[in-house]
Structures are given as C-alpha cells and as structure tokens.
C-alpha cells in the first residue's frame, strides 16, 4: 500500500527556491563573496585612512569641532567633492561620525587617530605594514623566499618611525604588567632591554621602581629614539645606552634581574629567536626574569588572525621573519633552561611570556645507558 512520506529536507523545499538559491532541492548554497570583497577593499580601506591622516582630517576636526565638508575644506584646501568622498568613506569605515551632513570625531578617532589621542596610532599607521612596495611584489617574495627590499637593508629608516608609533601602546602595556610582575617591588633591579626601540619597557620599570637601572640596546640610529624618550620621561640618568646588533653585542653574563625581548623575535626567524632567548638566559642572574613580548599564533595558525597576518607582514619585508606559535616559543624558552614559564596579557591583545632562570643549573634527566 502506498504510504505518503515527507519529502527529504522539508525545510530546504520551502526555502531553496530558484529565486533565492539557484536550482531548487539541492543542498548547495553558494558561499558569500564577502571575504573576497573584504580582501579587495582592504587595500582601499588602508589608503583611505592614510590619506585622511596625511590631510590632517582627524586633528582638524578635533580643532574646529563638528563641521560640514565646506568648513573642513576651508582648513584643508582640497577638492570639495573629493574631500566629501573621503570623509564619507572614513565614516563607513567606522572611524568618524556623520549626522545630517555634519562630520565629527567618534570615540575611536579620539582615542587612536588624533595625533595626541591617549593611545594614538597616527604615526604607526603609515609604517605598520612595512614598506608598501613590498606588498605589491609579494608573489615574487614567496617564490624567491626573500623580499626584494628587506627592511634589514636600511633598518633605521623603518624602525625609527615604527617605534615612535608603537611606544604608547607598549608603554601602557609595560606599566600594567607591574600588576602581574611586581617589578616595582624589586630591590635595585638591573634591566637589559634588547632591541628596545623607544624603550617602553625600561622606561615603565624605571618609573615604577626608583632604584632600578637599565641597559638599553638597539641599532645605531634607532637607539637615539630611546635616548630621547628616556630624557622626556626624566629617567635618562638611570639608563645606559648599548648600541649594536643584539646577536653579537657584548653582554655581561649573569648580570641582570630582568631581560626584555619586546617584539624582536618574530623578525629573526626560528634560529635567530632561539639565539636571542639563549642570550637572554646567559645575561640573567639566577632567579632573574625574562619578558618576551610578541604576537603568538595558535597551534593550527588560524585562531588568532592578527598574529598570523603579522607573520605575513614579516614575510613581506624581512629576510627571516615569520609568525611563530605560542607552543614554539614556550619550547624554545624551556630548551634555553628557563622554568616557571607563563603567559600574561596586561592589556588586550598584548601578550608576553614570562620565565625565570633557575637558581641552580637544571640537572639533565638523561642518565645515559
């Protein structure tokens, strides 16, 4: 006897019409093109923001307050229609507000985009992706295993504006890290800051602990930024500059209570990163602390897009740089001899491995045959 049965996938029968989804009664729903458009628009989005900064739009709006495009243009002196298009685009990027034709800063712009915002990224944005030309030649870089113009060819040209731009965030992070590390409670700690940039970590520690002293290393030309920042923060008298290559510069063994490797490992490749960790170990006195900041990928390299894309940025513009996983870093840190390894995140998206050099050399557990 014939028994009427439900069609398979009754929901699909209702919703899979030709009009909506192509052929009816198939399980295939075409994926959205949105991720492709996001990639295409990425180039434009970045350059829109760079242009807005070059034209001083955020600082102008801060100075003159909520304004129509004509009022902004009276300050900027651009093509009115082009300026309107730029402003509207910045609004849809979520970086300005517009109501009834009046443009104004929003909270994001106030914090990150005006030049004296509390966490300004205005100087960082133009330089953060590395030399722009390297991105247009990325396929060649992947083919050849090396960028045509790596930043190592002229490190000061790249790093001076970069470390100016990253200082605010790293300084804030280093200040907050005291809640986890209690460097302010140490008695006359000696700090070694390798590849210090503007020396945000050292300056935070020197501020937090009036008995601390620091040795600040960076490349000649870049170390001048640290010298200026130390003076601006009134702590230059407790800091000594050590210009030179962090792989080869002479370091006092067993001499420091804290060694900082702040965002220096990912440009060095696995071998270079391990070498820096080993150098940090040798420079620390027993019970001294390593602070290693970076952007760490997860094991599958897909859950932390910022870290993975930072790795791609390293690939695009450095000889050895890449993104590494938290597991790789923790293995390298352990292999160098450290113990009590932990990961801290004093502010959002800024993580550091913290590890202690043991009081006694670790005994090998391999007893031999």
Ligand X SMILES: C[S@@+](CC[C@H](N)C(=O)[O-])C[C@H]1O[C@@H](n2cnc3c(N)ncnc32)[C@H](O)[C@@H]1O
For residue 303, give the DSSP letter: S
CA distance 232 to 230: 6
Binding ligand X (rule: CB under 6 A), the pick from 166, 168, 202, 352 is 166
| Of residues 332, 317, 320, the one with CA closest to residue 267 | 320
Q: What percentage of the chain's residues is helix, strand, coil (to nearest 5)?
A: 45, 15, 35
**Residue 222 engages ligand X in binding (rule: CB under 6 A):** yes
**Residue 170 engages ligand X in binding (rule: CB under 6 A):** yes
Binding ligand X (rule: CB under 6 A), the pick from 121, 128, 157, 219 is 219
The 10 Å Cβ neighbour count of residue 77 is 8
**Residue 197 engages ligand X in binding (rule: CB under 6 A):** yes
Site mask, ligand X, residues 289-328, x = CB under 6 A?
Answer: ----x-----------------------------------
Binding ligand X (rule: CB under 6 A), the pick from 53, 264, 315, 336 is 264
CB-based contact 298:326 (threshold 8 Å): yes
Binding ligand X (rule: CB under 6 A), the pick from 229, 263, 274, 279 is 263
CA distance 72 to 84: 9
**Residue 256 engages ligand X in binding (rule: CB under 6 A):** no
Binding ligand X (rule: CB under 6 A), the pick from 165, 195, 208, 321 is 195
Long-range contacts of 243-246 (CB under 8 A, 24+ apart): 243/217, 243/218, 243/219, 244/217, 244/219, 244/220, 245/219, 246/194, 246/195, 246/217, 246/276, 246/279
Nearer to ligand X, 67 or 202 (CB): 202
Q: Which residue has the tokens 């210009």?
A: 243
In whole angstroms, the minimum distance from the beta carbon of 197 to ligand X comes to 3
Binding ligand X (rule: CB under 6 A), the pick from 131, 147, 165, 200 is 200
In whole angstroms, the minimum distance from the beta carbon of 236 to ligand X comes to 17
* Interacting residues with ligand X (CB under 6 A): 155, 159, 163, 166, 170, 195-197, 200, 217-219, 222, 245-247, 262-264, 293
């Amino acid at each position: 006897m014939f028994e009427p049965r439900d069609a398979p996938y009754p929901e699909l029968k209702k919703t899979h019409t030709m009009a909506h989804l192509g052929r009816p009664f198939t399980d295939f729903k075409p994926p959205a093109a949105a991720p492709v458009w996001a990639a295409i628009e990425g180039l434009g989005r970045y350059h829109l923001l760079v242009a807005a900064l070059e034209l001083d739009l955020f600082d102008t709006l801060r100075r003159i307050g909520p304004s129509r495009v004509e009022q902004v243009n009276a300050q900027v002196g651009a093509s009115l229609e082009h300026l309107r298009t730029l402003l509207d685009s910045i609004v849809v990027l979520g970086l300005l507000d517009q109501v009834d034709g009046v443009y104004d800063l929003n909270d994001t712009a106030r914090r990150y985009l005006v030049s004296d915002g509390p966490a300004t990224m205005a100087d960082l944005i133009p330089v953060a992706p590395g030399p722009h030309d390297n991105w247009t030649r990325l396929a060649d870089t992947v083919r050849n295993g090396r960028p045509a113009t790596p930043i190592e060819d002229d490190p000061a040209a790249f790093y001076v504006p970069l470390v100016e731009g990253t200082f605010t965030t790293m300084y804030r992070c280093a200040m907050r890290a005291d809640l986890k590390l209690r460097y302010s409670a140490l008695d006359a700690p000696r700090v070694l800051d390798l590849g210090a940039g503007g020396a945000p970590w050292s300056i935070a520690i020197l501020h937090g602990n009036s008995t601390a002293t620091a040795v600040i290393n960076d490349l000649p030309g870049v170390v001048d930024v640290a010298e200026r920042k130390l003076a601006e923060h009134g702590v230059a008298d407790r800091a000594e500059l050590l210009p030179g290559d962090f792989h080869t510069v002479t370091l006092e063994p067993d001499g420091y209570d804290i060694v900082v490797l702040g965002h220096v490992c990912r440009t060095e490749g696995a071998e270079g990163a391990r070498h820096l960790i080993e150098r940090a170990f040798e420079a620390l006195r027993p019970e001294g602390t390593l602070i290693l900041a970076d952007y760490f990928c997860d094991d599958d390299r897909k859950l932390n897009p910022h870290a993975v894309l930072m790795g791609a940025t390293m690939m695009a513009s450095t000889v050895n740089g890449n993104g590494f996983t938290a597991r790789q870093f923790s293995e390298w840190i352990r292999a160098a001899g450290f113990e009590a390894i932990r990961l801290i995140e004093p502010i959002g998206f800024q993580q550091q491995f913290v590890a202690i050099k043991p009081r006694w050399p670790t005994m090998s557990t391999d007893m031999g045959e």
